Amino acid sequence: MNPSLHYNWFSNIRGDILSGLVVALALIPEAIAFSIIAGVDPKVGLYASFCIAVITAFAGGRPGMISAATGAMALLMVTLVREHGLEYLLAATLLTGIFQIIAGYLHLGSLMRFVSRSVVTGFVNALAILIFMAQLPELIDVTWHVYAMTAAGLFIIYTFPLLTNKIPSPLVCILVLTAVAMALGLDIRTVGDMGELPDALPIFLWPDVPLNLETLWIILPYSLPLAVVGLLESLMTATIVDELTDTPSDKNRECKGQGLANIGAGLFGGMAGCAMIGQSVINVKSGGRTRLSTLIAGVVLLILVVFLDEWVSQIPMAALVAVMIMVSIGTFSWDSLINMRKYPMSTNIVMLVTVVVVVFTHNLAFGVFAGVLLAALFFANKIGQFLFIGKSETAQNEVTYNVVGQVFFSSSDKFIAAFDFKADLDRVVIDLSRAHFWDITAVSALDKVVLKFRREGIEVEVIGMNEASATIVDRFAVHDKPDAIDELMGH
Amino acid sequence: MKKILACIDGIGTLSEAVCDTAAWASATLQAPLSLLHVLDRREFPTEDETSLSGTIGLGARESLLQELAELDAKRAKLVREQGRVMLAAALERAQQDGAFEPTTLQRHDDFVTSLQELQGETRLLILGKGSKGDALGVHIEPTVRALHRPILLTDKALVDPKRFLLAFDGSATSRKALQMVADSPLLKGAACSLVMVGPSTYDTSKELEAAEKLLCDAGFEVDAKLLAGEADEVIIEQLKAQRADLLVMGAYGHSRIRQLLVGSTTSTLVRRSPVPLLLLR
């Protein structure tokens, strides 16, 4: 047998089958809950979870990662579903997939290196908060029965593993709460009240939308953020699974795999999805390592739902809420709160800004964008401090300035301020042998310095520019060209 | 100086066979022998006692990472010790066999990747045949495809072969193999059965004649045959009939796509050959 086939599918059969079963059971409440967030029938989320899990099992780049319908994606499609309906959602899902495949071919996965650890932490925490907030509608304006049921559900989920860890406790929670609700005839909301459940295997359906530009303009503003958020969450989850299992993954293949999965979901009546941090952690924790675990999770999910739809519709929403609260607690990075004391303030600000932007916009892409931008600014500021300019008298009426460090947009003012133009000198030497000029802001700062000295009648010599600095200075600088003054004055 | 690299994976007859063969090859070629054992973490199964509770609580990721890292650390220590014992046993055997400057090497890595990294200093690679009940195993084909070094596959000790069979088909791969045999001191002194499978035409007999002449000039005692039939069947039959100790052939001259469609003679012969194989790329 081929080793990649062996390691990707059959190196851990027992662990993968068991973890696949555990994940399938955990995916059902999530898929239903996220369909409800998006405002579509539970079957849309369940079909999506099946398609996405099965397709990423084959096409994804990270074996052992679980992808399905997710909350982050569901939140982005709410207004599209409300204003235009399900068919436009399916079309948007297709377009999302196409964007993601293009991203895979353009190797945009490697852009993830700009996403710092504090942004990832912020993303994960924001995701946990969003999942929790999405449960609140089920807990507002309801009778005390719902609160009691949810509390009992959480109690079962967290205490049952102390009894035995061979049976998934979320399953026990759902079974017990459903039995109690049916036995007591409680008048509380059930999954059946939230919309249609699947009663058959998904079928191939081209979304029923007119194929014209107008449709494109409707779905484009949704597909783009969906594609971005889907890739962000998938690649971050892949990094987390890489770290947990200490094995590598192919990030660009993952982008293409997610795209293919979304196209598949769109064509089989499912909503867009991506990788799930919580479920992937559950999968690894339950012993899942290879593609087989993902495939089993998807297939078992569909079998369970299609054959048990009568029973699934009886599940009280309180049980799902309990499971989702567990997922949100497990997703949240509690370490990040403890670490805030010892991490530098800039790191904490990046994390918090990411969280706050996401919570207010309900769009993880904006949060990540803000976080990355802020992190880059902080970094530029820090690097800008690595600039030192020393001054020494090397001869009668001659001063040598030694520039050490990084000169670029953020440190160019500091660079200019370090020179004393008003001194009574004949000659100035600027030694750049230990400095680096990064951009045209730095180059124009040097120009300014040289010209200012000249206008004071002081002769200037620039020495020791290293090769990298020399290239950029040659290309953009004016001071070493004959018509220097005219050109600079012309501006 | 380029080395003979022998891959050891365990203690037992197969590893001993690899050691003996490697010792002979290193002594014959006067090349230092390096005994290699690769630890691949992906070979570790997950715990039987894995929790199936399906819950994630406070700090689930952090605690899981710590748990898995500790487990891996424990296992890594264990397999590293096992590996050292294996290598020590192999080293002793190789020394007894009179190998040329034997040393040992243990790596934590993917098997094929570590062989690729060592490729630059490898002259000949010696692998045990098969794993997990299949003579081809999981590693042999990708190793042969990934490396551009001669590979000797064996399941029994090969020392001073009296006769080897060289499978020739006129392809570029097999002409290169022919040249390597002629140039190498490894098989000097052994008789050669040169077997070509194909229709008896003017072109094929000319090619066979040229091949025979090349080997004769290199000092081999050659017995050339042009036979018709299925390549793998004929070669297996001839190996038995001529009591050859070793099969020498060019390997995987075709693409994976073609192999998927029509199968690979190399894979079939690795599975079915009763004697060790020397694969030349």
Q: How are beta strands A459-463 and B3-7 bridged, if at all? A: unpaired
Residues 6+ apart with CB under 8 A from B75: B41, B44
A269: left (phi over 0), alpha (psi -120 to 50) or beta: left
The DSSP output letter for B131 is B
Give tens-digit pLDDT for A330-382. Answer: 889 888 888 888 888 999 999 999 999 999 998 888 999 999 999 999 999 99
Interface ipTM: 0.77
Alpha carbon distance B126, B145 (integer Å): 15
* Nearest residue of chain A to residue B60 (CA atoms): A330
Do B45 and A12 count as a contact with CB atoms less than 8 A apart?
yes
Angle at CA of residue A155, ends A152 and A159, nearest 5°: 145
Q: Does the CB of A311 have a partner CB in chain B at under 8 Å? A: no
Q: Does the CB of A386 have a partner CB in chain B at under 8 Å? A: no
Which residues on B lie below 8 Å from A246 (Cβ)?
Answer: 41, 68-69, 72
pLDDT for residue A491: 43
Strand partners, A190: A316
Q: How far apart are the first and last CA of chain B?
A: 21
Q: Does the CB of A162 have a partner CB in chain B at under 8 Å? A: no
Give tens-digit pLDDT for A233-252. Answer: 999 999 999 989 888 889 99
- Of the CA atoms within 13 Å of residue A43, those in its CB half-sphere come to 19
pLDDT for residue A96: 96
> Which one is predicted more confidently, A97 or A466?
A97
**Structural contact between residues A71 and A129, judged by C-beta atoms closer than 8 angstroms:** no
Backbone angles phi, psi at A195, to 5 degrees: 140, -175
Do B52 and A165 count as a contact with CB atoms less than 8 A apart?
yes
Q: Does the CB of A178 have a partner CB in chain B at under 8 Å? A: no
| Mean pLDDT of the A205-231 span | 90
Give tens-digit pLDDT for A274-292. Answer: 999 989 999 998 888 899 9
Which residues on B lie below 8 Å from A326 (Cβ)?
Answer: 55-57
Min CA distance, B139 vs chain A (Å)? 6
Q: Within 10 Å of residue A219's Cβ, how many Cβ atoms?
A: 23
Grouping H, G, I as helix, E, B as strand and the rest as coil, residue B277 is strand
Give tens-digit pLDDT for A96-107. Answer: 999 999 999 999
Do A245 and B68 count as a contact with CB atoms less than 8 A apart?
yes
pLDDT for residue A487: 53
User: Is the confidence at residue A67, as pLDDT, over 90?
Assistant: yes
pLDDT for residue A476: 65
> Which one is predicted more confidently, B56 or B245?
B245
Q: How confident is the model at residue A57 (pLDDT cuts 50, 70, 90)?
A: very high
Give tens-digit pLDDT for B89-130. Answer: 889 988 888 888 889 888 888 888 888 888 888 889 998 886
Go through chain B and tell me how many residues it has: 281
CA dihedral B195, B200, B201, B203 (to 10 degrees): 0
Chain A residues 324-363 with CB within 8 Å of chain B: 326-327, 329-331, 333-335
Select the highest-mean-pLDDT range: A173-182, B36-45, B189-198: A173-182
- How confident is the prediction for chain B on average, in pLDDT? 83
Chain A to chain B Cβ contacts (< 8 Å): 114
Q: Does the CB of B60 have a partner CB in chain A at under 8 Å? A: yes
Grouping H, G, I as helix, E, B as strand and the rest as coil, residue B226 is strand
Residues of chain A above pLDDT 70, percent: 94
Q: Which of A16, A243, A285, A289 to mutate to probe the B interface, most B CBs <10 Å?
A: A285
Angle at CA of residue A366, ends A336 and A230, nearest 5°: 85
**Structural contact between residues A255 and A100, judged by C-beta atoms closer than 8 angstroms:** yes
| Mean pLDDT of the A11-21 span | 86
Min CA distance, A254 vs chain B (Å)? 20
Give tens-digit pLDDT for B156-188. Answer: 888 888 899 988 887 888 888 888 888 888 888
| Mean pLDDT of the A402-421 span | 89
- How confident is the prediction for chain A on average, in pLDDT? 88
pLDDT for residue A350: 94
pLDDT for residue A490: 47
**Structural contact between residues A473 and A440, judged by C-beta atoms closer than 8 angstroms:** no
**C-alpha pair distances (Å), A76 with each of A89, A99, A184, A364:** 11, 16, 38, 9
The gap from C-alpha B130 to its chain's centroid, in whole angstroms, comes to 9
Its sign, for the CA torsion A136, A195, A70, A73, is negative
* Nearest residue of chain A to residue B66 (CA atoms): A244
Least confident piece of the model among A34-48, A448-462, B103-117:
B103-117
Candidate from A6, A245, A326 with C-beta closest to B56? A326
Residues 6+ apart with CB under 8 A from A320: A29, A32, A33, A138, A174, A191
